Amino acid sequence: MSTAVKTAVESSREQARDNWNAVIASTVGWTLDSFDYFIVVMVLTEIAAEFHRTNAEVALTVTLTLAFRPIGAFLFGLLADRYGRR
């Protein structure tokens, strides 16, 4: 009987380790996915100066890009479901 309890505990530990690995992997994936936007925000002033725009104009562009990403993902997801590979 102690073997069954030990196996359940080991199974629980393995599950917990797998959960943490999933959290770490998703955090790294999200960080790499959004890295390009972080870079733009960090050098926003230099980009604005290079293109002769104000910081507010460049910030608005970045904001609109981030705001419309979910809308585009939704619409193109529907199109992909309807007309995608068959």
Contact between 66 and 37 (Cβ < 8 Å): yes
Encode pLDDT of 66-82 as tens digits.
Answer: 899 999 999 999 999 99
What pLDDT shows up at residue 68?
95
Q: Which residue has the higher pLDDT, 59 or 8?
A: 59
Round to the nearest angstrom and report the end-to-end CA distance of the chain: 52
Encode pLDDT of 28-63 as tens digits.
Answer: 999 998 888 889 889 999 999 999 999 999 999 999
The residues spanned by each domain of the chain are 1-35, 43-86
C-alpha distances in angstroms, 43 versus 39, 55, 57, 59, 66?
6, 10, 14, 11, 17
What pLDDT shows up at residue 5?
60
What pLDDT shows up at residue 11?
72
Query: In the numeric block, which tokens belong to residue 49?
Result: 């100066």
